[in-house]
A and B are shown apart, each in its own frame.
Chain A
Amino acid sequence: MSEFHIDDRLDLRGVLCPMNFVKAKLKLEEMESGQMLEVTLDDGEPMRSVPRSIKEEGHKIVSVQKTDANAYRLVILRGQD
């Protein structure tokens, strides 16, 4: 569906803040810089805070898509350490 080569996926629907961010962060730390992580998040509080925290950690969000009424799929480019 997307033009990106996805290296790993994480479904964080139903995971509350800030655990959703912590899980995404741990996953990104396992990955190499330049790899792509796809994350699915609930709309609302998770979408308000997780993308922002990911950016603050030095990663880049390259795509955001609404998958259904209540969820978003983000593609994150793992940044440098």
Chain B
Amino acid sequence: MAPNDETAKLEALRSGLKKEARALKLDFDQLKSGGFIKQTQKNLFTVRLRCPAGQLTSTQLRTAAELADKYGRGEVHISVRQSVEIPYVHYQNFDAVTAALKEVNWSVASCGPRVRVPGACAGCTYNPNGVADSQRLCLDIDRRFFGVATGHHKFKISAAGCPIDCPRSRGADLGFQGEVSPRLEAALCTGCELCVTACQEKALTMAEGLPVRDDSKCNYCGDCIKICPLDAMVAARSGWLVRAGGKHGKHPLYSYEVANFVSDEEALALVEKTMEWYKGNADGRERLGATFARVGVQKYIADVIEPMGLQAIKTVEQRRRFWAGGNFYV
């Protein structure tokens, strides 16, 4: 075939595709921002649905099942970050899928350099370990920040109900983890020592018949409060431990603990301020943790955490209680 014939053929193919796209009213920008993920198989995409906090109503579940039957291969995949995905959807069916989702007030997930769908464990909504409502915070964050463009790279947020940290808030750009600081009501305490045995951080010791807490070892897990049969150990303060600058990927980063005992409202304001800071300080397509590596986490703390009047965590000493081990190549 002559080169000219080939060019003409290609042109025809291109204009054909363009026509097809126009006829389908495909919005390519929406395609890139939304959760349509190109598969290895020709013309087929995985449709990622928006499932903040890993929560779905039964209506949404039914819709996902119907869509999988109708446009996929009758199967769904649960993404690592808690979203239901429908694989094997032909791009010609995008509009139909979008319309069906709209009918139940639902949408596809966010992709690209945007705030991604935030994740969370069951927290204290129904998990007995939880000391904070990670589901509620996560849903609030999603309502306010879903899909916001960062100007740089993806932005992942996760919320954990307690220091066990199942949702791995350490690996998120912004992580929130429930924490509670205990206080002893000495008059109610019988000195049974159960709290001392429950404390895995060895932060409690008995002195003159009463448990005494070493705050520098306490990671605010609240186990001592939960185990005390007499309600002598009570919650003095609770809120969110904030972590910033984590990521997974080929070169993972563990985040820095940057603030203690942040309230729900403060947490939402902090997401906004952090996005602003990230926008202004990141250099091109880098994650928040990479920006920290360049300009220093202290700049972020000074620019964002301190002006908000939050209880800043600034030193390695203050972070030691949340220690993480492993191979850090340092």
Residues of B within 8 A of A72 (CB): 192, 194
Among B194, B197, B198, B229, the one with the most A-chain Cβ atoms within 10 Å of its Cβ is: B229
A74 touches B198 (CB 8 A): no
Interface set, chain B 202-229, CB cutoff 8 A to A:
226-227, 229
**Contacting residues, chain B, for A43 (C-beta < 8 A):** 197
Smallest beta-carbon distance B197→chain A, Å = 8
Task: Say which residue of A55, A62, A64 sits within 8 Å of B194 (CB atoms).
Answer: A64
**Interface of chain B residues 101 through 136 with chain A (CB within 8 A):** 128
Q: Is the interface of B mostly helix, strand, loop or mixed?
A: loop
Contact present for A65 and B229 (CB under 8 Å): no
Specify which chain B residues have a CB less than 8 angstroms from the CB of A61 in the assembled complex. Answer: 229-230
CA distance A65 to B229 in the complex (A): 11
| Chain B, Cβ-Cβ closest to A64 | B192
User: Does B193 sit within 8 A of A, measured CB to CB?
Assistant: yes
Asked whether, in the complex, the Cβ of A66 is within 8 Å of the Cβ of B193, the reply is yes
B interface residues, how many (CB within 8 angstroms): 12
Q: Is B185 an interface residue (CB 8 A)?
A: no
Q: Cβ of A47 and Cβ of B231 under 8 Å apart?
A: no
Closest Cβ–Cβ distance, residue B195 to chain A (whole Å):
11
Interface mask (A60-80 → B, CB under 8 Å = 1, otherwise 0): 011111100000101000000
Tell whether A48 is near chain B: CB-to-CB under 8 Å.
yes
Determine the distance from Cα of A52 to Cα of B227 in the docked complex, in whole angstroms: 6
Q: Which residues in B have their C-beta under 8 angstroms from that of A54?
A: 229
B79 an interface residue at 8 Å Cβ cutoff? Answer: no
Chain B: CB-nearest residue to A54: B229
**Residues in A whose Cβ lies below 8 Å from that of B231:** 55
Q: Report the bound CA distance from A66 to B229 in whole Å.
A: 13
CB-CB nearest in chain A for B231? A55
B190 is an interface residue with CB less than 8 A from chain A = yes
Q: CB-CB < 8 A to B193: which residues of A?
A: 66
Residue of A nearest to B193 (CB): A66
Q: How far is the CB of A10 from chain B (nearest CB, A)?
A: 15
* Minimal beta-carbon separation of A75 from chain B (angstroms): 10
B45-60 contacts to A, CB under 8 A, are none
In the bound assembly, the distance between CA atoms of A74 and B192 in angstroms comes to 11
> How far apart sit A47 and B228, CA to CA, in the bound complex (Å)?
10
Residues of A contacting B194 in the complex (Cβ-Cβ under 8 angstroms): 47, 51, 64, 72
| Sample of 4 more A-B contacts, CB < 8 Å, known A48-B227, A72-B192 | A51-B227, A61-B230, A63-B190, A64-B230
12 A-B pairs in the complex with CB atoms less than 8 angstroms apart:
A47-B194, A47-B227, A48-B198, A52-B226, A61-B229, A61-B230, A63-B190, A64-B192, A64-B194, A66-B193, A72-B192, A74-B229
